Structure 1
Amino acid sequence: MEELSALSGTSSPEDSSLFGTLGTGAVALLTISAAAPLGATVAVGPVAVIFGNGAGLPGAFLLTGLFLFCFAVGYSALAAEIPGNGAFYRYITVVFGHRVGMGTACVSLASYLMMTAALATLTGYFVDLSAQSFGIHIGAQAWIIMSMIAVAAFGIRNIDVAAKVVVPLIICEFGALSILIIAIVAHKGINSFPVEAVSPSTVFSPGFGISVMFALSAFVGVESAALYSAEAKNPKTAIPRATIIAVGLVGLFYFITFWAFIGDIGIDHVAAIAQKGLTDVNIQQSLFLDSFGKNLGPIAEKIISLMIATSSFAAFLSLHNAATRYVFTLGDARILPRRFGVASAKAGSPATASIAVSVFVAVVTLALIISRVDYVTAFAPTIALGTTGIIVLQGIVAFATVFYFRRRKDPRIFTTFILPLIGFIGICSAFFLTLSNYDVLSGSSSTIINSMPLVFILIFAYGCITGRGRSEKNAS
């Protein structure tokens, strides 16, 4: 296909190839780490309970997980059908052409870069909080700089090295959540899973849209498995399987954890706690951690605070890797300077692209440090903007999946039409809910900040115009 050949640029395989030995499990856990399940649970859960549908939060996460699982099935089929680097960019280019693909690439890169910069500041903030609980006081700024240096060091090396760091951290995160669930069940018994929390009247109560919005933000990153296709041992099977495993595993843990969390609070007490939390920031920040302390003791609570820091670091590293692979792919396709698409001959890693991402993140975060902007205040609108961009791309790819397979009259009606169509409808619905409640996600009442998603229209248009120029140049 012409689109496929256009994606590869004009370089020889020797000077642009990545290599790695990632299996399905490693790819899945690397993908999951971008969502930071423990960090997202502790950070998103309390806020969603307070501002969302309260006791109906487990149901909101269940529905969101089901929609994304439907998306993942179709997305995996598309990844198997169109192998190679580039993920969103590659698939959209093959289905809708180079100009639309270029617009998608620009939105993808901008979204991942914003989320990477946001996680850099948040990692330093959480590491500082954890360090202070152990009597170490050197300030968040120092931890931000050290975390950036560590991620930069991992980024230039082979992906197998990063996997050896990230995979154990993610396994520990799931272990911590599992232990909490077991402890809650030990204390509460069957009351740990109140039926009322998943009943339609509770799930679809006021604030449902806000909960879905937060739920979708907690899943962001689980679509990034395809970015590791060149570094997987058997990408044609590993990438589709890893995507489905990542979405399914994260969705299952979110649902069960939040269901037990609501049971631990007590279904009758959720409304009162949510009301207090509207004006009490301490409740918003510590509600989930309190559950660890209550069920497992103060030492466990301190350990979890440390694990939240490691969870943020794993997410930072994973998002850095995702952004790096977009830079590498666009460099290889001559959309960005060619040197960004050249792999390290020794490490088989996108070292130059990784350095470029590290420089970008360093400039952004150091600017925040110099301007003395509050890290938490800066994090919310930045991650909100990046999340919105990824949601838009998920919707486009879901539609592309339906369009691609229907155009080819694929006989797998259930996996290539019905499920991706359900995923598309669900993601579009969640996107409109996100726009309607964007001020809650961004944590700001500023008209300028809450109008920032419009910038993606300009980024997409720039990409399409640039892509048109590239297409005409290639044609001539």
Structure 2
Amino acid sequence: MSSDPFFSDSGLRRGRLGTAHLVFFTVAASAPLTVLGGGVTTMYAVSGNIGAALSYVLLAVVLAVFAVGYAAMSRYVANAGAFYAYIANGLGRAGGVAGSAVALTAYNAIQIGLYGLLGAILKDFMAAKANIDLAWWIWALVAWALVGLLGVLRIDLNATVLAILLGLECVVVVIFDVVSFGHPAGGAVTFDGIAPGNLFTAGFGAVLAFAIACFTGFESGAIYSEEVKDPRRTVARATYIAVAFTGLFYALSAWALTVLTGPENAPKASGEAGPGVVFGALDQYAGTVVADVANVLFITSVLAALLSFHNGVARYLFALGREHVLPRFLGATSNRSGAPIAGSIVQSVLAVVVFMAFAVVGRDPVIDLFTWLSGAAAVGVVLLMVLTSAAVVGFFRGRSGPETLWQRVVAPVLGTIMLGAVLAVLLLNFDAMLAPDTAAYLKWLLPLIPVAAAVIGLIWGLVLKSVRPEAYARIGRVAEEGLHEPGLHPSPEAERDLWSTAGQR
């Protein structure tokens, strides 16, 4: 493959990304303006919980605890498969394959679902502003072509695009916050929107379900660990920044909405106007031009998230192809850009097949395509974090190193327990994320999709162990020893394999 003028098996290009780049990818994946305009308003409308803003701080604390072990392990494991490699090195190789199946299912689901959301937004915007009335799937195809093109170009170019889009949308969110606190309902800023007593009431489960979905993507820094300048520090640093920024930023903006409408009116106003609560306030207090720009950035916010998740899926496919867990051609990179071109193309093909299938059968792009797939993705990502947090404990068990007891045991165990509780709440309240008239069987079938993926992945891992032991031995390997100081990276041959006989290494 290396003789091909377009494809290479030389791997991803090292040293192109720094901490700032990873922060752009991780924060852009959660799309701040989309969270405010879509996630926050829907959370208030569905849950009726006026203290919901504080949930972002609560979940940020949980994710920060998770990040302690995750960051400690990132010093040893640099692999584009991210959580797949973490789980393989901590819970065994077959477990790693199960984790990779969950990751591919979750990240593909949210990425494909976003095409439905973007198509619907673009359809309404272009019809209102340019009198161009086209079907939502046509606009989704336009976005698909753009994302597919960027996905095979240099990763630092992608990061630059995301940085620009993220910076602009954050400016709009800040303007909304300033407008809200400058024009409070009743003439005075109220703290009811961040009062703990108002959060832990009716609707708390639904609040957590929506809030955790807003954080999807924060954990994706490890996907780019082979392309960063300093793998030992960059992933950890970017993850902490992303958790702190998104948690505080989302909490502030959700609180600002309650200040603008009045806490008791936030659920009703959100239910009636949806994103219009945000853009209407900008139009009224900041001017029509700012509101129009904000609408455009709402669109580019979704586009930025699409690009971030596309890059993540492509790198998971690359890692699995390189290690022969999936077909080897997926391990190909572009000679020109160093991008995982095969994985990028496969992801693009899968995305267009799925969202066009929804279009052909006449399903709604938001109520069906986006809501169904984003809900399943949220379950998958939390399940993946539970497995990863548990893997940290397994990885450091019996291994010497500079990490403290807090980093290697206490924080990972706490993270596993807390994320397990979040997963349970998400599953019990999953129906809150769906439209009231959604078929009853989908309320349990959708959250089972990532669970089924884990089972299938585990079975495939065990099959590889039996019929292709050479491929099984590759699972979870550190991509390149030169990325780490001598002695820091794990020896794959000595890794624990929980799916082998007891005590076997």
* Structure 2 length-normalised TM: 0.86
2:195 corresponds, among 161, 180, 199, to 199
Name 2:3's counterpart in structure 1: none
The alpha-carbon deviation at position 123 of structure 1 amounts to: 1.5
SS at 1:129 equivalent: helix
Further displaced range: 376-385 or 120-129: 120-129
Percent identity of paired positions between Structure 1 and Structure 2: 27
Cα separation, 2, equivalents of 1:421 and 1:295: 48
Once the two structures are TM-superposed, the CA of residue 231 in structure 1 deviates from its matched residue by: 1.6
Q: CA deviation at 1:225?
A: 0.7
1:431 is aligned, of 420, 423, 426, to: 423
Letter in 1 for 2:199: V
Aligned partner of 2:376 in structure 1 is: 385
Equivalent position SS for 2:144: helix
Quote the Cα distance in structure 1 between the aligned partners of 2:121 and 2:148. Answer: 19
Q: Deviations over 1:379-438 (max 9, x none)?
A: 101111112111110111122223433543765133343433333333222211111111
Deviation at 1:286, TM superposition (A): 2.3
Aligned letter for 2:23?
Answer: A
2:234 and 2:131 map into 1 onto residues whose CA distance is 42
**C-alpha distance in structure 1 between counterparts of 2:400 and 2:185, whole Å:** 51
Counterpart contact for 1:193–1:260, Cα < 8 Å: no
- Alignment match, 1:3: none
Q: Any idea what SS the aligned residue of 1:447 has?
A: coil
Deviation, structure 1 residue 474: 4.6
Q: Which has the higher helix share?
A: 1
The equivalent residue for 1:412 is 404
Residue aligning to 2:434: 442
Q: 1:136-175 CA distances to partner (integer Å, 9 max, x unpaired)?
A: 4142222111111111111111211211211110111111
* Corresponding residue for residue 168 of structure 1: 164
RMSD: 2.2
Instruction: Decide whether aligned partners of structure 1 residues 200 and 42 sit closer, same or farther in structure 2, where only a CA change above 3 A counts.
Output: same
Question: Which residue identity does 2:409 align to in structure 1?
Answer: F
| Cα distance in 1 for residues equivalent to 2:361 and 2:163 | 35
Letter in 2 for 1:62: V
Distance 1:256 1:202 in 2: 16
**Helix, strand or coil: the match of 1:372?**
coil
Change (3 A) 1:283 1:241: same
Q: Which amino acid aligns with 2:129?
A: F
Query: How far apart, CA to CA, are the structure 2 residues paired with 1:370 and 1:117?
Result: 15
Q: Give the ranges of 4+ consecutive aligned residues of structure 1 lying more than 6 Å apart after TM superposition.
A: 189-192
Match of 2:503 in 1: none
Question: Deviations 1:163-193 (Å, cap 9, x if unpaired)?
Answer: 1211110111111111222222333499775
* Contact 2:21 2:159 (C-alpha < 8 Å) held by counterparts: yes
1:214 pairs with 2:205: no
Q: Which residue of 2 aligns with 1:350?
A: 340
Report the residue type matching 1:434 in the other structure: L
Q: Paired residue for 2:364?
A: 374
2:502 corresponds in structure 1 to none
Matched AA of 1:260: A
> Is the aligned partner of 1:148 residue 2:144?
yes
- The 3 A distance-change label for structure 1 pair 49 and 323 is same
Describe the superposition over 1:221-259 as per-residue Cα deviations: whole angstroms up to 9, x where unpaired. 110111111221222211111111111111110011111
Structure 2 gaps, min length 5: 1-7, 471-505
Q: Note closer, same or farther for the CA distance 1:234–1:192 as it changes in structure 2 (3 Å cut).
A: farther
**Equivalent of 2:454 in 452, 460, 465:** 460
Q: Distance in 1 between matches of 2:209 and 2:284?
A: 29
Asked whether the 8 Å contact 1:71–1:423 carries over to 2, the reply is yes
Residue 231 of structure 2 corresponds to 235
Query: 1:94-127 CA distances to partner (integer Å, 9 max, x unpaired)?
Result: 0111111111111111111111111122222222
Rounded to whole Å, the distance in 1 between the matches of 2:396 and 2:379 is: 26
Confirm or deny: 8 A CA contact 2:181 2:259 kept in the other structure. no
1:127–1:273 Cα change, 3 Å: closer
> Contact (CA 8 Å) 2:51, 2:194: kept in 1 or not?
yes
Q: Equivalents in 1 of 2:266, 2:213: separation in Å?
A: 22
Contact preservation (8 Å) 1:261, 1:291: no
Q: Does the CA-based 8 Å contact 1:184-1:260 persist in structure 2?
A: yes
The aligned residue for residue 444 of structure 2 is 451
2:51 to 56, 67, 74: 56
CA contact (8 A) 2:317 2:331 kept: yes
User: 1:122, 1:271 → 2: CA distance?
Assistant: 22
In the alignment of these two chains, the number of paired residues is 458
TM-score (norm 1): 0.91
In structure 1, distance between residues paired with 2:169 and 2:132: 25
Is the deviation greater in 356-365 or in 433-442? 433-442
Q: Is the 2:87–2:96 Cα contact (8 Å) retained in structure 1? A: yes
- Return 5+ residue gaps in structure 1 as ranges: 1-13
| 1:267 matched residue in structure 2 | 263
For the 8 Å contact 1:184–1:192, the answer to whether it is kept is: no
Match of 2:32 in 1: 37
Provide the rounded CA distance (Å) in 1 between the counterparts of 2:264 and 2:293: 30
Q: What SS does the aligned partner of 2:387 have?
A: helix
Letter in 1 for 2:383: V
